[in-house]
Every structure is written in structure tokens, then in C-alpha cells.
Structure 1
């Protein structure tokens, strides 16, 4: 079962983010606080959205998708950028990840969005195989660039 997250889900979303960071070998990079997540998802101007995969038998969340809108200047419409998709190891293989992506694809179709995009680490071959099985195509001609920390500050202070 997939459901839209509520403010009461902030603690479990925070825990799932920490678990994802551990899985991606970068726990030191997961610095978001529950308060920041609450503001981003449920504040006056939500900037992100989340869905939870819930185990049908226990009713407990076993995974999540956190996403936000992007915009394609070439297509002239919004799309969804999937920031995080994570299913707990014990729940993998039961269709939760596919159900989360299916829900986001349904939102795209219903709202007239023309893209559902995300990134995956090159070493994460189980996820890559899963995405390939859904018909997703890697965008190998693009390289992601990122400014953070000191580099971001240094550039921003030049303005």
C-alpha cells in the first residue's frame, strides 16, 4: 500500500533517510533534521512531497519516496524529480519500490507532467537493474554537477 505522508510521519521519514544514507555509504552527509523535513514537506510553502510504502500485514512503513517538481524548458511543463527512493532491506522484492514509482508515474500522467527523473549511484547495480526492468533509461550523456559547502559559499559571496 502506498500513501501520502502526513506530519506524523516525519520521524519515520527521518529514520528512513538515515538508513538510505547508511546504504549509500554516506551517513555523514545526511544532515537534515526532523524540523527541516517538516518545514519542507508541510510548511507554509511546501517544497517537497513524500509517499510511504506500508506493509499490508503490519501497517508499518517499509519505504519512502521523497520528490519535488522540476520544470522542462524544452517540453514547457513540470515533471517530478525523485530525490530519494528507499525500501528497507527486509521488505525488498515485495513490490514496494515498484509501487512507489508507479504512484509517481500516475501523478505525472494525471497532472500532465512529462518526466519522472532521478539519479542512481553508479555502483548501485541492484537499483540500476530494477530501474532497467521498469523501462527507465539512463541519461549517460549528462554529468551531474553540484556546488556545496565552501565552494557554494565562495561563489555566492562573489555576487
Structure 2
């Protein structure tokens, strides 16, 4: 079953994020807390800026898609950015990852959004193969850039 996450799913989401960080060989980088996720996904005022869908089997959350809206100046329209897609290893190959992506693609089509985009680590051959099997096209000419931590503070200081 694929459904939008509820506030009760926050502990499971944090658990899945930690599993994903282990898989991606960066467990120390996953520092988000349940409170961080509650505030981001279910803010006390206003609309959230990030969303989550979950894959559930027999009442247990075993997969997730964390996403948000983007904007393309070239198309003049919004799209969806898939921040993280993760299905626990025991449930891979069951169609849950595909179902999570199908749900996001359906949202894009229903809302007239021309793009569903995400990144994948270049060494993650199982994920790359899975995405290619769905028709995803690698944007190899683009390189992600990041400013964070002390570098961001220095940049902000001008």
C-alpha cells in the first residue's frame, strides 16, 4: 500500500533515513531528528515545504519517497524533486519502489508538472539499473554543487 505519510509515520521515516544513510556509506551524515521531520512535514502553521509518501506492508512502513516541488525557469512551471527513495532490502523487487515512483509520476501528470527529477550515486548500479528500466535518463552533463557549514557562513558574510 502506498499512501501519504502521517505524523505517526515520523519514527519509521527517521528509521528509513538512517538505513538509507548506512546503505549510502554516510551514517554519520543522517542527523535529522523526529522533531525535525515533524516540523518539516507537518508544520504547526502554513503549508509544508516537503512531503513524504510511504510504502506499507501489513501495517509496517517499509519504504518512503521524500519529495518537494521545484521550479524550472526554462519551462516556467513547477516539477517534483525526489529527495530520497528507499525501500528496505527485504522488500526490494516487490514493486514498492516502482509504486512510489508511479505515484509521483501520477501527481506530476495530474498537476501538469513537466518534470520528476532526482539524483543517484554514480556507484549505485542497482538503483541506476532500476531507474533506467523505468525510462529515466541520466543528466550526466550536470554536476551537483553544494555550499554548507562554514563555507556557507563565509559566503553569507559576503
TM-score, shorter chain, exceeding 0.5: yes
Give the shorter-chain TM-score range: over 0.9
> What corresponds to 2:144 in structure 1?
144
Deviates more, 1:44-53 or 1:97-106: 44-53
How many Å apart are 1:149 and its aligned residue? Answer: 0.9
Count matched residues: 156
Q: Is the 8 A contact 2:9 2:61 kept in 1?
A: no
> What corresponds to 1:52 in structure 2?
54
Q: Which runs of 4+ in 1 moved over 2 A?
A: none
TM-score (norm 2): 0.97
> What corresponds to 1:80 in structure 2?
80
TM-score (norm 1): 0.96
Deviates more, 1:97-106 or 1:38-47: 38-47
> What corresponds to 1:123 in structure 2?
123
CA distance in 2, matches of 1:78, 1:14: 27
CA distance in 1, matches of 2:2, 2:38: 20
CA distance in 2, matches of 1:65, 1:51: 5
Structure 2 unaligned spans of 5+: none
Q: Is the 8 A contact 2:67 2:83 kept in 1?
A: yes
CA distance in 2, matches of 1:107, 1:16: 23
How many Å apart are 1:16 and its aligned residue? Answer: 0.5
CA RMSD, 1 decimal = 0.7
Structure 1 unaligned spans of 5+: none
> What corresponds to 2:13 in structure 1?
13
